[in-house]
Amino acid sequence: TRMRRKYFKNDMTTVRLRWGDILMPLLKKYKLNITWGDQDLLNIIFFHNPESLFVFPCQWNYRPDHCIYGSNC
């Protein structure tokens, strides 16, 4: 609910947009460059809004395949 209420900056307009208003224009703009779908859109949004992103410590970013090829956190 907080993300839906928040206004976000982006690279297409100087007007801050709400979550629902920002997704489709970003998808249309970057659709040929998006590999990971929604994750890419989130990365684009939070690139322009780093103050709204909380980066978890590495210990919380665990994936089982991290252990296959060495120690990655």
Q: Is residue 22, in this structure, part of any structural domain at all?
A: yes
- Residue 50: pLDDT band (50, 70, 90) is very high
DSSP letters spanning 27-60: HHHHTTT-SSTHHHHHHHHHHS-GGG--PPPGGG
Q: Which domain holds residue 57?
A: 7-69
Phi, psi of 62, rounded to the nearest 5 degrees? -90, 135
Evaluate if residue 65 carries a pLDDT over 60. Answer: yes
In a domain, 1, yes or no: no
What's the burial of 3, exposed, middle or buried (CB within 10 Å: 0-12/13-18/19+)?
A: exposed
Q: Greater confidence, 52 or 70? A: 52
| pTM as predicted | 0.68
Residue 73 has pLDDT above 60, yes or no: no
Number of domains composing the chain? 1
pLDDT in tens, 3-46: 888 888 888 777 788 888 888 888 889 989 888 888 898 899 88
Q: Is residue 2 part of a domain?
A: no
* Residue 37 in tokens: 């779908």
